[in-house]
Amino acid sequence: MAPVIDLRDVVKEYPSGAGRVRALNGVSLEVMHGEFVAVVGRSGCGKSTLLNMITGIDRPTGGRVTVAGTEISRLPERQMARWRGENVGVIFQFFQLLPTLSVIENVMLPMDFAGRGSADERRARATHLLELVEMSDQADKLPLSTSGGQQQRVAIARALANDPPLLVADEPTGNLDSTTAEAVFRLFGELVEAGKTVVMVTHDIDLAARTRRTIRMLDGRIVGDDGSDRSRDLAGRAVVEPAPAVHAPASALSAG
Ligand SMILES: Nc1ncnc2c1ncn2[C@@H]1O[C@H](COP(=O)(O)OP(=O)(O)O)[C@@H](O)[C@H]1O
Ligand SMILES: [Mg+2]
């Protein structure tokens, strides 16, 4: 099976006052379907730039980026937003929910953009996703009247709206207390068990140690990649014996 993420010799330079900043300096990376990958490294090492290459939020200066079978580094700008909406769910540190829309309207929005199903079907799917993240009882509230942890769970439901194979999260627990961070981390683990691929940038070394694979970056390069850590199951729980891959039915997540 082809990798869901395939980066080859990716370079990203930004213009700066002094000349150019090399945020990524020749990064090659393959991530297979169903992997749970943590990306770590000190501030400024290129983690967010790497994620922006994977989501197509930004384009490489050199090299090739193929995600979910599409070479997005060659995709025309006008096709990028639609491609992203259908193939990647993006989750940010500060949630980035639209404050004037209710919780359920935020989750319906990506389906509205994709022109997916009838209005009733979108609402039903959004309700189902809010149940999955245990937020269905807050569906009609405005995001800012809920807690940070609740907003992040809504953002995860929104990321799942169009049932993308890949979820990309940039410090999703960075603004949460440790208990709430734990709940959000577990939710990612459950999504991986259900068949999603998750790439998560984190400053939290304890959380990173619990994913099967951790990628370490320094100065725009990947300097460490522990591959597949068999002492963890897909959801990041410690296992004594190497566990066979368990694939929970994806039906809980797929569009009805
Ligand atoms: N839009 C931009 N314009 C100029 N420089 C940038 C931009 N985005 C990132 N950089 C620079 O690229 C480097 C990597 O940044 P970033 O990927 O945000 O690091 P991280 O997420 O690991 O903290 C830093 O030196 C940063 O200042
Ligand atoms: Mg960053």
pLDDT in tens, 157-202: 999 999 999 999 999 999 999 999 999 999 999 999 999 999 999 9
Residue with tokens 């014996």: 241
User: 46 alpha carbon to ligand 1 midpoint, in Å?
Assistant: 6
User: 203 alpha carbon to ligand 2 midpoint, in Å?
Assistant: 10
Question: What average pLDDT does the segment 40-46 reach?
Answer: 97
Q: Which residue's C-alpha comes closest to atom 13 of ligand 1? A: 23
User: 201 alpha carbon to ligand 2 midpoint, in Å?
Assistant: 8
- Cβ contact 36:234 at 8 Å: yes
Does 21 contact ligand 1 (Cβ within 6 A)?
Answer: yes
Does 44 contact ligand 1 (Cβ within 6 A)?
Answer: yes
Does 209 contact ligand 1 (Cβ within 6 A)?
Answer: no
Residue 88: which CATH number?
Answer: 3.40.50.300
Q: Which residue's C-alpha comes closest to atom 24 of ligand 1? A: 44
Domain count along the chain? 1
Condensed to tens digits (0 to 9), the pLDDT of residues 54-105 reads 999 999 999 999 999 999 999 998 899 999 999 999 999 999 999 999 999 9
Q: Which residue's C-alpha comes closest to atom 18 of ligand 1? A: 48
Does 139 contact ligand 1 (Cβ within 6 A)?
Answer: no
The mean predicted confidence, pLDDT, of the chain is 91
Could you list the residue range(s) of the whole structural domain that residue 130 is in? Answer: 5-252
